[in-house]
Amino acid sequence: MKIMSNELLVAAYRDAEKKGQDREWIKLLKSEITKRGLNPYKN
């Protein structure tokens, strides 16, 4: 999934977590964030 930029990927993950709807989508986004070495939250 190289379609989203890093910023868009993190924003999509945060939004999906906030809504808490589709667990599979959240899991997919989380795995992609981890693969890219990103942190979805500010330190």
Range of the domain at 11: 6-36
The number of domains in the chain is: 1
Residue 40: CB partners within 8 Å, gap ≥ 6?
10, 13, 14, 30, 33
Give dist(CA 22, CA 35) in Å, integer.
Answer: 20
In a domain, 21, yes or no: yes
In a domain, 42, yes or no: no
In a domain, 43, yes or no: no
In a domain, 29, yes or no: yes
Question: For 4-35, how does the pLDDT look when each residue is reduced to its tens digit (9 = 90+)?
Answer: 899 999 999 999 999 987 899 999 999 999 99
In a domain, 19, yes or no: yes
Q: Is 17 exposed, middle or buried (0-12, 13-18, 19+ CB in 10 A)?
A: middle
In a domain, 1, yes or no: no
Residue 38 has pLDDT above 60, yes or no: yes
Domain of 15: which CATH number?
1.10.287
Q: For position 21, what pLDDT does the model report?
A: 79
